[in-house]
Amino acid sequence: METRITPRVDINITIISTIPADQQQKFALTCGSRFEAHALDISEMGIGIVSKYYLPKKLIIEMEIDGTLFGLKDKMITMGEIRYCAFVRTLGYRCGIKFVDPPEEYRKAIAKFVSLYERRKEPRVRLAD
């Protein structure tokens, strides 16, 4: 059973991620600080991606996401915190990223997008912490 706080929908886009300088002391890629990843799903709270790189939990990254998909004129640039990252043999590393203080404009655009494409409707269940 799905127990997420906010609904999510599948997407199929490429995002550009950057590891900010202050995070590079904790983690560095051999290819530099920028990398492409494939986004699989999105919600108001975060995004699920597949990366060819392992990204450690709690790492903060910057993400560039095509805003036109969400009705915006420009790309969305926002920060995210890696919540989990696990190797999936056929994909690479499947990572869950929680948005960190996204602008209200982005949150509303994503919420509208999700409401248009979510298949499952209420009631929702929230598990106790």
Establish if 2 belongs to a structural domain.
no
Band (pLDDT 50/70/90 cuts) for residue 122 is low
Confidence tier at 95 by pLDDT (50, 70, 90):
very high
Domain annotation covers residue 70:
yes
The predicted model gives 47-68 an average pLDDT of 95
Query: In the prediction, which pLDDT does 128 show?
Result: 58
- 1, pLDDT greater than 50: no
The CATH number that applies at residue 89 is 2.40.10.220
Question: pLDDT digits over 13-30, tens only?
Answer: 999 999 988 888 777 777
The residue type found at 125 is V
Residue 37 inside a domain? The answer is yes
How many domains in the chain? 1
Q: Is residue 1 part of a domain?
A: no
Asked, for residue 21, whether it belongs to a domain, the answer is: yes
∠ Cα 33 37 41 (to 5°): 135
Q: What is the mean pLDDT of residues 53-73?
A: 95
C-alpha to C-alpha distance for 22 and 35, rounded to whole angstroms: 17
Domain that holds residue 68: 8-117
| Residue 47, Ramachandran bin (φ over 0: left; ψ between -120 and 50: alpha; else beta) | beta
